[in-house]
Amino acid sequence: MAGFTAFLLAFFIVNLCLYDGVWALTGPQIAQDLKKSLSAGSEVFLPSDPAYANQTTARWEITAAPTYVVAVKPDSIVDVQKIVKYAAKNNVSFLATGAGHGYTNTLSALHNGLSLDLGNFSTIEIDSAANTVKIGGSVRAARLIAALQDAGKEMPVGQCTCIGMTGFSLGGGIGPYSGLYGTASDSVAEIEMVTGAGEILTVSQSQHPDLFWGMKGAGFNYGVVTAITYNIYNATNGGQALNADMTFPGSQNGSVWELARSFVGNHPKELAITFSIQYNATLGEMAIVGNFIYAGPLENLTALIQPFLDLQPAALNISSVPWKDVASSALYGATNQGCAGTGVEYVPYAVNLYQIDVPSMVAVVNFMNKTMAATPDVQTAVVALAQYAPSGFQLHADASSAFPYRDAVIFAQIDGFAFSATPVPALTAFGASVRDLLHKGSGKTELQTYVHFAHGDEGEAAWYTEGKLRSLKALKAVYDPRGLFSFYNAVGRRGGNYTTR
Ligand SMILES: Cc1cc2nc3c(=O)[nH]c(=O)nc-3n(C[C@H](O)[C@H](O)[C@H](O)COP(=O)(O)OP(=O)(O)OC[C@H]3O[C@@H](n4cnc5c(N)ncnc54)[C@H](O)[C@@H]3O)c2cc1C
């Protein structure tokens, strides 16, 4: 009997570990099991392996990051299917990793899990005649846009080029050319995936159209995408765009918001506007940086932004850049710089605005000015307001996909950047207060937040809207019945607080 007890004890120590009060398979055990069953081209890494750091995809944000005991890089869709089935059978929590730039606090609920790293799915195949591009599930925007520019093509991409195209598109995917084409998900033609039910499926308008609908806006709820095909478009304006950056002192913010409001209902599809509200510690005052990206000739842009120029900005830069360099040029290059690197301390908050209410916006800037002057820990925070033309969003009916925010006027983000963990509590309190103030002037009583910009405490109705949740839940029951895909602002998750460490 004593021998049997000793055997059982040894078995548990080698194979199982008590994580968060639950017995779970150890990383070495999972690694051993998967190495046996996956194809030769697949790779399995333990965090203790020297290769883990440079062979697996690191996370951009660490403030609320998931933790892993093993990372697996499958080589084929069949390998992905095996991993999903293994994880389901053995209660191994996992997350598909594209480019690792997701940052919602709900990710911090994944402890001691498995990173299903799609790094081996990295091909880009452009078919210029058919106007399509097929990419692997981990391709980053930077590689795709360089290849599209070379081919004389374009499609909607985000403001930063390090993010994974698949992850971006599964939540909708918004950016400067959304005025022309809508969300990235509006351009998706076909998806190859393994569902949470363990099935390999090709999903499109004609194959599993119900799931196709859900994948375009809530896609990270239903499975792992190994490849995605987009419709692409001939380059606008010869593949060149204009980038205009200008800086205003905070004291002019009311005039800036009045001008921003004049574009509502009157916004040319070729123009994307972003405002960055930040604290100038040297001057001890707020600054508003306006960025205007225009897919057309200089004289047209100049006419559009003349009222802003008449405010005599303190700094001004206008340049012509290839489409692929739009992200790296905008806001004097600051937006894309924030995307680079990994291990960033970051506290996100966000809210969609459905109007520009000038007194509310002035109140936000006043609050920021007062709080930031008094609290050095929050002086690195930036409020970014993306005001895209509605025309692209309106090319597609609301019912065409799970993406629910075609009528948002501004996608507002409170970016709580920090150089260490120390300011995280102050940035959290600051971000929540600024979100509340922005929400008051948003034109909606309920909180609505673009799912990719969310903090994680908003809940499913804020990310997906009540109107879409019924269908999304029905899809969840069919395609992810065990709730394997539940760590990223998931359908079924209510609002509430999430600890960051
Ligand atoms: C600096 C920065 C700038 C950004 N700018 C924009 C912007 O301009 N517009 C915009 O819309 N968004 C923007 N985002 C948000 C971005 O779109 C999301 O963070 C997106 O999830 C990133 O995808 P990823 O593959 O890099 O991240 P990951 O962390 O790898 O993935 C995020 C989520 O998507 C899932 N996922 C990723 N790949 C796959 C796959 N192949 N199959 C199944 N699930 C997958 C993951 O499981 C996870 O749930 C920005 C993010 C950052 C950090």
> In the chain, what are the domains?
2-117 (3.30.43.10), 240-461 (3.40.462.20)
Q: Where are the alpha helices (DSSP H) in 91-218?
A: 141-150, 165-170, 178-181, 209-218
Asked whether 491 lines ligand 1 (CB < 6 A), one says no
* pLDDT recorded at residue 404: 98
Tell whether the model's pLDDT for residue 9 goes beyond 90: no
Q: Assign 3-class secondary structure to 234-294.
A: ECHHHHEEEEEEEEEEHHHHHHHHHHHHHCCCCCCCCEEEEEEEEEECCCCEEEEEEEEEE
pLDDT tens across 206-230, in order? 999 999 999 999 999 999 999 999 9
Tell whether the model's pLDDT for residue 121 goes beyond 90: yes
Asked whether 452 lines ligand 1 (CB < 6 A), one says yes
> Cα 475 to chain center, whole Å?
22
Q: Which value, in Å, is the radius of gyration of the alpha carbons in the chain?
A: 23
> Cα 227 to chain center, whole Å?
18
pLDDT tens across 412-438, in order? 999 999 999 999 999 999 999 999 999
What is the b/e burial string over 356-378, where b = at least 16 CB atoms within 10 angstroms of the residue's CB?
bbbebbbebbeebbebbeebebb
CA-proximal residue: ligand 1, atom 4 (nearest)? 160
For the CA of 137, the nearest atom of ligand 1: 41
**Sequence-distant (≥ 6) Cβ neighbours of residue 311 within 8 angstroms:** 248, 252, 255, 256, 259
Tell whether the model's pLDDT for residue 497 goes beyond 90: no
Asked whether 191 lines ligand 1 (CB < 6 A), one says no
* pLDDT recorded at residue 8: 45
pLDDT class for 373, splitting at 50, 70, 90? very high
- Average confidence (pLDDT) over 312-321: 97
For the CA of 487, the nearest atom of ligand 1: 49
Asked whether 348 lines ligand 1 (CB < 6 A), one says no
Asked whether 160 lines ligand 1 (CB < 6 A), one says yes
Q: Where are the alpha helices (DSSP H) in 56-140?
A: 77-90
Asked whether 230 lines ligand 1 (CB < 6 A), one says no
* Ligand 1 centroid, distance to 101 Cα (angstroms): 5
- Average confidence (pLDDT) over 4-30: 66
For the CA of 386, the nearest atom of ligand 1: 8
Tell whether the model's pLDDT for residue 14 goes beyond 90: no
Average pLDDT over the chain, rounded to whole?
A: 94
* pLDDT recorded at residue 24: 85
* 161's tokens: 């080029």
Cα–Cα separations (whole angstroms), residue 435 to 44, 63, 255, 328, 367? 41, 19, 22, 27, 11
pLDDT tens across 123-157, in order? 999 999 999 999 999 999 999 999 999 999 999 99
Q: At what angle do helices 358-374 and 424-440 cross, to 10 degrees?
A: 160
- Average confidence (pLDDT) over 75-88: 98
* pLDDT recorded at residue 15: 64
Asked whether 214 lines ligand 1 (CB < 6 A), one says no
Asked whether 168 lines ligand 1 (CB < 6 A), one says yes
Handedness of CA 348, 353, 359, 360 (dihedral sign): negative
Please state, for a pLDDT cut of 70, what percent of the chain lies above it.
94
* 232's tokens: 């692409």
Q: How many Å from the N-terminal Cα to the C-terminal Cα in the chain?
A: 43
Q: 173 and 98 in contact (C-beta within 8 Å)?
A: no
For the CA of 453, the nearest atom of ligand 1: 15
